[in-house]
Structure 1
């Protein structure tokens, strides 16, 4: 029954997206709302940028319809309004509105960051925060006064990471799909099915969006970008799932509950949860860390946009947009496989260190390829 609920949510959301996005395209044409090409962007034509407006309504509509249908058929109530629920919905709405305003009239990076901090702060204030690092750097349980700022910074950072990596067709959406599939599996294994329903709804609308984003014809006016309304919404949702999945709550997730890792080995939830959650977003998170360090090294403001992100480097190395997309998705999947192999044998600190070294090595290889291309005779 749960699988039917998830499939129905996915299909309704996807079909809603296929109906919603053409209407957004028409609205953008009438109001002249386009993402214009410049020296930092890789597209060469004016493209509508409001695709992300469809994400939140499609997800919520599909989830509500299927949850009500499930309750009607089974008599089992799967959703209850709690302080967490209300805080999450208010925070999500703040991020969604900020993204829309930025897409239509434009907002400065510091203004967006301020609202991200406000939205993120509502979650720990309602009791949802990172309260255990499970041995990372020798740290286990952490108090609220440490978990509060840590949670806020993590949410704002991931939100910006998904926004900043949205630089080529399908990349932000593709990375989000990979992460969402992983979170759905994780929440399903620990029987938190309401989150699986939300994820199914989000995955459905992303599939519809990616069809227009990757395969939509510019000449026919069918191509669209998600804009900040989409990337910020995705980033906030994914950061919420990371905090929720990795939070230590024995009352919700009984101690000793097991689920399967990537290779079928049963492992305790407490052993794998933080590694599992962070692994699903390694590429966008590590990429933003790397870019920040490079900007600091070159004494440039960290909020200034540039062409130092991994997708820019892939293009500079000679890959096409589609090749870069599949290469970056492949890197993300590789990290998931590697960490799935390592987590039964190493503690989280060593795993993170090895991940950093591997990511640095990948970037060294890409940089070497770029330098080699520059030396080639024209």
Structure 2
């Protein structure tokens, strides 16, 4: 529990600076994006019908970097933060190049694994499961392997859920605010100094990304955000654990809750593709948001529905931990998310059957 307010006015300044810098950069980069070739082109998998600038992630990254360098004291940005910032920059540049040139999946994966290894080597790694399924401290080799799997998995899962206006940005903003509260609670000013400008930049991005979207996040944003959020979450959790803090299990619960929706959706889609004999990386229109689009929900309605179930899992998880074991809460997180996914799928199947019956009746 913090003994001081960790400079709340200073953190609010960081939020405002992140908001202002990103807001100022966005119109400029929107105009430049066609000349840079950073546009998302419509195709059979996309829901938009015209060229849309895909520079949201680049703008968020530039704003965060500028604010971090100019506003955050160097003694606060120390230790693991510079390594994570550098790894995030590498992923952002890779994502921007991929948006421009469509890099092979293996190349992207190798770069992501390299960034995950660097971050893991410099201390941002899962050293304990804090009693989850009875597991405490992990062997060093397992720490490296599990951390790299989680980092690359969440980066790609968050990229996959970035399919409609406002969804990825809204989930990222909520997760960033949750992590900011956790960083304040655990008295981690270094991570708070990164999270506050990030929250401001995400809010500015959402102003331009809400339906009808004037820009998209692009791989240079969604991959980085997934990687960054879970890295900071691990660092906060391990910081609490290193201080023999009793709140490490609560931190783990919050972090798994923040990851649950994109990860469950990605695993379900991968499984569905493989069951049909396709590559798990073969793109399709089988995500939760695609189902809801087929139900003729607006983009904003879909975003609010998915954000609601995500918020429910995030809010209830730490509360439930006071009454249930961490393993039970984790299984409950999975159950609620899968249950909501199944409900969407059943309603989608029912709608298809209803339309077929109506079509047969009309003939």
Q: TM-score scaled to structure 1, two decimals?
A: 0.88
* 1:131 Cα deviation after fit: 0.5
In structure 2, runs of 5+ residues without a counterpart are 1-5
Cα-to-partner distance string for 1:212-245 (whole Å, 9 max, x where unaligned): 111567xxxxx11111111112111112112212
Bigger mean CA deviation after superposition, 136-145 or 353-362? 353-362
Task: Give 1:255's match in structure 2, choosing from 228, 244, 247.
Answer: 244
Q: Distance in 2 between matches of 1:30 and 1:302?
A: 33
Residues 289, 275 of structure 1: CA spacing in aligned structure 2 closer, same or farther, 3 A cutoff?
Answer: same
Bigger mean CA deviation after superposition, 165-174 or 23-32? 23-32
Please list, as runs of the form range in 1=range in 2, the aligned pairs for 1:11-30 lying within 5 A after superposition.
11-30=16-35
Question: What is residue 138 of structure 1 aligned with on the other side?
Answer: 134
In structure 1, runs of 5+ residues without a counterpart are 72-76, 218-222, 257-267
Q: Residues 127 and 143 of structure 2 are in contact (CA less than 8 Å); yes or no, is this contact kept in structure 1?
A: yes
Q: Distance in 2 between matches of 1:160 and 1:365?
A: 24
Q: What's the secondary structure of 2:309's corresponding residue?
A: helix
Q: TM-score scaled to structure 2, two decimals?
A: 0.91
* 1:192 Cα deviation after fit: 0.2
Question: What is residue 37 of structure 1 aligned with on the other side?
Answer: 42
Q: Distance in 1 between matches of 2:220 and 2:205?
A: 13
Which structure has more helix as a fraction of its residues?
2
Q: Please give the root-mean-square deviation of Cα atoms over the aligned residues, in Å.
A: 1.8
Question: What is residue 209 of structure 1 aligned with on the other side?
Answer: 205
Task: Give 1:224's match in structure 2, choosing from 215, 220, 225.
Answer: 215
Q: Distance in 2 between matches of 1:4 and 1:275?
A: 29
Q: Would you identify which runs of 4 or more consecutive aligned residues in structure 1 move more than 6 Å?
A: none
Cα-to-partner distance string for 1:84-137 (whole Å, 9 max, x where unaligned): 334323312211110111112121222211110010001221232101001112
Question: What is residue 348 of structure 1 aligned with on the other side?
Answer: 326
Asked whether 1:66 is paired with 2:71, we answer yes
Q: Distance in 2 between matches of 1:131 and 1:86?
A: 21
Please list, as runs of the form range in 1=range in 2, the aligned pairs for 1:76-91 lying within 5 A after superposition.
77-80=75-78, 82=79, 84-91=80-87
* 1:193 Cα deviation after fit: 1.2
* 1:246 Cα deviation after fit: 2.4
Aligned residue pairs total 351
Residues 194, 86 of structure 1: CA spacing in aligned structure 2 closer, same or farther, 3 A cutoff?
Answer: closer
Q: What's the secondary structure of 2:330's corresponding residue?
A: helix
Asked whether 1:296 is paired with 2:292, we answer no
Q: What's the secondary structure of 2:215's corresponding residue?
A: coil
* 1:287 Cα deviation after fit: 1.1
Question: What is residue 3 of structure 2 aligned with on the other side?
Answer: none
Q: Residues 131 and 248 of structure 1 are in contact (CA less than 8 Å); yes or no, is this contact kept in structure 2?
A: no
Please list, as runs of the form range in 1=range in 2, the aligned pairs for 1:1-378 lying within 5 A after superposition.
2-68=7-73, 77-80=75-78, 82=79, 84-214=80-210, 223-247=214-238, 250-251=241-242, 254-256=243-245, 268-374=246-352, 375-376=354-355, 377-378=358-359
